[in-house]
Amino acid sequence: MESNMASPASTALNPVPFVNEPYTDFKLPENRAAMEAALAKVRAQLGREYDLLINGERLRTDAKLLSTNPANSSEVIGIHQKATAELAARAIDTAYANFKTWSKTPVESRVEMIFKVASLIRERKFEFNAWLGVEAGKTWPEAEAETAEAIDFCEYYGREMLRMSNPPAMVQLPGEHDQMRYLPLGVGVVIPPWNFPLAILAGMTCAALVAGNTVVLKPSSETPTIGAVLVETLLEAGFPATCINFVPGSGAAVGDILVAHPKTRFVSFTGSRDVGLHINELAAKTPKEQIWIKRVVAEMGGKDSILVDAECDLAAAVEGVAVSAFGYSGQKCSACSRAIVHADVYDEFVERLQARVATITVGSPEDPSNYMGPVISASARKTILEYIEIGKQEGRLLNGGTPVPEGGQFVAPTVYADLESSARIFQEEIFGPVLAVTKARDFDHALDLVNDSVYGLTGAIYSTNPEHLERARNEFFVGNLYLNRKCTGAMVGAHPFGGFNMSGTDSKAGGPDYMLLFLQAKSIAEKL
């Protein structure tokens, strides 16, 4: 299906029903040509320098942050300013001062702006796909899915904000008029991840803005250019420059200042468990001049499992595991990193999986024939390769250890079988193309294994046994569970996303509860 087909335009006063953005079919020659043209257009912009944005003022600093192409380490994507501690504090102070004005902007006006953002991204979908390819290492299908998700977040949250601005009637006590109103919180610090540098960034930022909050955005140091391009899109859509601050910089130099500042009201974070726990701990402190308890929305890691039951469509299970494990080089928090397979089908599953993974092609994401591109950075690659060496001592190598393209951060898809649950590559989040396969004695043992983790983000089960599927609904302890399908690819509106335990605060992004995280409820009773 063609992705950027004309569709009815939504307005704040007349939003059309929400539907997910369709994906582009790159098999069509005209779409392939459009994508190649977009890559050429984006490539002509590589190496540009981007400014900080604080209180509507564009600033430069002496210290620079270079973003490079993970598929070609010598290629600079963008040159960015490193914000100082003083500039970070200034961003919070001015965002706090500007909140009073921005929060009074009518809801309908804010919603019109977020719908305009969706429209602009839709018009430039191939260009955003291209940016995701050169800076985040995403293949054409992975980039397309992310850009579509960014559009979905804007469309969905705009409608949700309209709903929140007209809440259901309260119980009316005799002699009173009783109502509930939802008010914006204040200054929000948005810290997005590098693995979904457009969709998650757009979702967190636009939800905060459309709710009436001001935002200080600290993009990932791996993908700041995509953040800068999105900020320019927000400004073009009508969001005032005084309500959005763009401050790249390291977590140690800038992130802690933003989180700890007494005028920060909430923090929206997606990233690793350790950083998320640090942010939560830092935000919990209440300096004397702070008059609120900060709200933290933290989406962290995962060690996600797919359970393959004795009674199942084994071919579908093999495909679901392979796609979930190696899509975007295993760099999704929802990626399958553990396959838990019933003993009765274990040997056949392992044989089929090994053959399927052997067909995966690795190389430049700009070449649509490649299924897997690079991992995000040299440091990430080093860590992944260290885990692969650990795996050699813990399990039986099925795939991996093969040559990969040089010049970029490439890692071959790697599969280990016959792992014990105590193995490090079974328990620790690797965030790369490494899959652990473990045999379960029976279904009870399989459930024990999938739940043997400090995380609880996504999971899936392949089974034709209705009793086992129902047990999984009740006993498979994750925030997002999928039956007889892959464990990646959550869709806005259909699969509200967020996990349990060390996977975060279970925010359920893309669902009807999410906007509540950026608002506070005020109960009002008037005596008649």
Active site residues: 299, 333
Structure tokens at 24: 């582009």
Cα gap 497→480, rounded to integer Å: 7
> Do residues 136 and 195 lie in contact, with contact meaning Cβ atoms separated by under 8 Å?
yes
Alpha-carbon distances of 152 from 13, 121, 207, 449, 463, rounded to whole Å: 19, 10, 12, 35, 31
The secondary structure of the chain in percent helix, strand, coil, rounded to multiples of 5, reads 40, 20, 40
> Do residues 376 and 342 lie in contact, with contact meaning Cβ atoms separated by under 8 Å?
no
Cα gap 399→416, rounded to integer Å: 7
Long-range CB contacts (within 8 A, 24+) of 196-199: 196/146, 196/149, 196/270, 196/332, 197/132, 197/135, 197/136, 197/222, 197/223, 197/226, 197/227, 198/128, 198/131, 198/132, 198/146, 198/147, 198/150, 198/226, 198/230, 199/146, 199/147, 199/149, 199/150, 199/153
Question: SS3 for 482?
Answer: strand
> Do residues 365 and 375 lie in contact, with contact meaning Cβ atoms separated by under 8 Å?
no
Which residues of 209-303 form beta strands (DSSP E)? 214-217, 244-246, 264-270, 295-299
Structure tokens at 267: 């923090």
Q: How many CB atoms lie within 10 A of CB 45?
A: 15
Residue type, 393: Q
* Strands 304-308 and 336-342, sheet pairing: parallel
> Do residues 126 and 37 lie in contact, with contact meaning Cβ atoms separated by under 8 Å?
yes
